[in-house]
C-alpha cells in the first residue's frame, strides 16, 4: 500500500556546506529538498565579518546547479574581536540571519571561538537590541567536565547567565542532545528555541560504541543515553513550536573520519526527510512533521514559510539511499540509520 504526505517545503536550521569542491558536491543533497538553510560559518578561516559572509553566500549560490532553488541564510562566527556595528550592518542589509557562538575548542574548526564571555557582551547587547538570534554550540570545554555532561553544564554555567544578563537576546540552542536541554527550553517563556538533528532522534551512545566503534556515528555534541534520545523524540514530535529541525549535516571525507583521531560529524543531508518521516510515523506523529521541519523554524526566525511543497511517499520495498557521495576530495559516507526505511521524497 502506498502512503503519502505532502508538507510545506522544509528548511534546515543548522547546516555545514564547507567550501570549494566539497561545497559543490554536497550542496545539491540539501537543495533537492530544502528551501533554505542556516549556513554554519566554521570554515577555515571562519566567516567572521559581513563582507566574508557576503562572499561565502556568493560562492554558495554559484555552486548551486542551475535547475535548483535554494536560499542560504548566512551566519557570522562570533569571536572576541567581533565588531557590534559590523554585525548590525550585516543584519540590516538582510544578509545575516544569526550569529554563531562556539566556545573555543568545542568542536570542528572552533579555535577562534569565545573564551572570555565578557568580551562579547557588547555584541550580545547589540543583537538583543536588533532582534538578531544567537545560535549556540552548547558545550563547555573544561577538561574536567565529562564529554557526556558538557551540554548540561553549559546550560547552567554559560547559557542561563548570558540570557539573564542580556534580556531580549533571542537564542537557539543548537543540536540539543539531552533531556536537560529540552526541559530548559520548555521552562522558559520567551526568546528561546532549539534545533534537533535527525541522527540524535535515531542513535544513542550505544550505537557509537557497542560491538566496535562506529566513526560515522561520532558527532558533537556526542549522542547520549537512550533516555535522552527518547526525550528528544518527545520534544520533536510534540508539536511544541520551540523545537525545529537543524540537521547539523556535517560532511567529512571517509579518510578524515576513519582514522586514529577521526573528525566529528554525521552527513545526513541526503536522507534526512525520509528518516524523519520514519521516525515521526514510528511515534504516531506524522501530522507533526510539517511543524518540526517547515513551520516552527521560520516562525522563530520571523521569516515566511517556503512557498513550495514536497511529498513524502512510503513504499513497500525499502528505499536504497546512496551509501556515499563522491567528492573530488574522496567519498563522504551518508548516515546509515541501521534499519530499513520505506519513505522517500517523491
Q: Does 220 interact with ligand NCD (rule: CB under 6 A)?
A: yes
Give CA angle at 266 (124, 47), nearest 5°: 35
What minimum distance in Å lies between the beta carbon of 182 and ligand NCD? Answer: 18
264 binds, among Zn ion, ligand NCD, none (CB under 5 to 8 A by kind): ligand NCD
Cα dist from 36 to 13, 53, 167, whole Å? 8, 16, 29
248 is catalytic: yes
222 binds, among Zn ion, ligand NCD, none (CB under 5 to 8 A by kind): none
Q: What is the Cα 53 distance to its own chain's centre?
A: 18
Q: Does 107 interact with ligand NCD (rule: CB under 6 A)?
A: yes
Of the listed pieces 24-32, 71-79, 248-256, 326-334, which binds Zn ion according to CB under 5 A?
A: 248-256
Of 86, 248, 254, 326, the active-site residue reads 248
Residues 173 and 181: their CA atoms lie apart, in Å, by 8
Count of residues near ligand NCD by CB under 6 A? 11
Grid coordinates standing for 210? 557497542
What minimum distance in Å lies between the beta carbon of 106 and Zn ion? Answer: 10
Residues 315 and 344: their CA atoms lie apart, in Å, by 8
Residue 248 — φ and ψ, nearest 5°? 55, 30
- List CB contacts of 25: < 8 A, sequence separation 6 or more: 251, 325, 326, 327, 328, 332
Q: Does 248 interact with ligand NCD (rule: CB under 6 A)?
A: yes
Q: Does 264 interact with ligand NCD (rule: CB under 6 A)?
A: yes
Q: Does 88 interact with ligand NCD (rule: CB under 6 A)?
A: no
Grid coordinates standing for 274? 525520509
Cβ closest to ligand NCD, residue 108 vs residue 296: 108
* Contact assessment for residue 294 and residue 10, using Cβ atoms and an 8 Å cutoff: yes
Q: Classify the phi-psi angles of 23: left when phi > 0, otherwise alpha if psi is within -120 to 50, otherwise beta.
A: alpha
Residues 254 and 204: their CA atoms lie apart, in Å, by 22
Task: Name residue 165's beta-bridge partners.
Answer: none
Cβ closest to Zn ion, residue 218 vs residue 343: 218
What minimum distance in Å lies between the beta carbon of 17 and ligand NCD? Answer: 10
* Contact assessment for residue 155 and residue 162, using Cβ atoms and an 8 Å cutoff: no
42 binds, among Zn ion, ligand NCD, none (CB under 5 to 8 A by kind): ligand NCD
Q: Does 250 interact with ligand NCD (rule: CB under 6 A)?
A: yes
Q: Does 219 interact with ligand NCD (rule: CB under 6 A)?
A: yes
Q: Which residues are tagged catalytic?
A: 248
Residues that bind Zn ion (CB under 5 A): 248
Residues that bind ligand NCD (CB under 6 A): 16, 42, 107-108, 137, 219-220, 248, 250, 264-265
Amino acid at each position: 500500500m502506498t502512503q503519502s504526505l505532502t508538507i510545506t517545503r522544509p528548511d534546515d536550521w543548522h547546516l555545514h556546506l564547507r567550501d570549494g569542491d566539497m561545497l559543490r558536491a554536497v550542496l545539491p543533497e540539501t537543495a533537492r529538498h530544502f528551501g533554505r538553510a542556516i549556513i554554519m560559518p566554521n570554515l577555515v578561516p571562519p566567516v567572521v565579518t559581513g563582507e566574508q559572509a557576503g562572499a561565502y553566500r556568493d560562492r554558495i549560490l554559484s555552486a548551486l546547479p542551475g535547475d535548483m532553488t535554494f536560499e542560504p541564510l548566512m551566519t557570522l562566527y562570533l569571536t572576541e574581536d567581533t565588531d557590534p556595528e559590523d554585525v548590525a550592518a550585516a543584519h540590516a542589509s538582510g544578509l545575516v540571519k544569526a550569529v554563531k557562538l562556539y566556545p573555543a575548542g568545542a568542536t570542528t574548526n572552533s579555535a577562534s571561538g569565545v573564551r572570555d564571555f565578557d568580551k562579547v557582551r557588547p555584541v550580545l547587547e547589540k543583537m538583543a537590541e536588533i532582534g538578531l538570534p544567537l545560535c549556540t554550540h552548547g558545550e563547555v570545554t573544561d577538561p574536567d567536565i565529562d564529554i557526556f555532561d558538557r551540554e548540561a553544564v553549559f546550560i547552567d554555567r554559560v547559557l542561563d547567565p548570558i540570557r539573564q544578563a542580556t534580556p531580549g537576546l533571542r537564542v537557539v540552542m543548537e543540536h540539543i542532545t539531552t533531556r536537560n536541554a529540552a526541559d530548559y527550553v520548555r521552562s522558559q517563556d520567551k526568546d528561546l528555541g532549539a534545533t534537533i538533528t535527525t541522527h540524535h532522534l535515531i542513535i544513542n551512545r550505544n550505537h557509537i560504541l557497542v560491538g566496535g566503534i562506529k566513526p560515522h556515528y561520532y558527532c558533537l555534541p556526542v549522542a547520549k543515553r537512550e533516555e535522552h534520545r527518547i526525550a528528544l523524540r518527545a520534544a520533536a514530535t510534540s508539536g511544541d513550536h520551540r523545537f525545529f529541525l537543524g540537521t547539523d549535516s556535517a560532511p567529512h571525507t571517509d579518510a578524515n573520519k576513519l582514522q586514529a583521531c577521526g573528525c566529528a560529524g554525521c552527513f545526513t543531508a541526503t536522507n534526512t526527510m525520509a528518516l524523519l518521516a520514519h521516525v515521526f510515523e514510528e511515534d504516531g506523529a506524522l501530522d507533526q512533521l510539517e511543524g518540526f521541519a517547515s513551520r516552527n523554524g521560520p516562525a522563530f526566525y520571523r521569516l515566511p514559510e517556503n512557498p513550495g511543497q514536497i511529498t513524502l511517499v512510503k513504499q513497500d520495498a525499502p528505499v536504497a539511499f546512496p551509501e556515499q557521495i563522491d567528492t573530488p576530495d574522496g567519498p563522504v559516507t551518508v548516515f546509515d540509520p541501521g534499519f530499513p526505511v520505506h519513505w522517500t521524497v517523491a
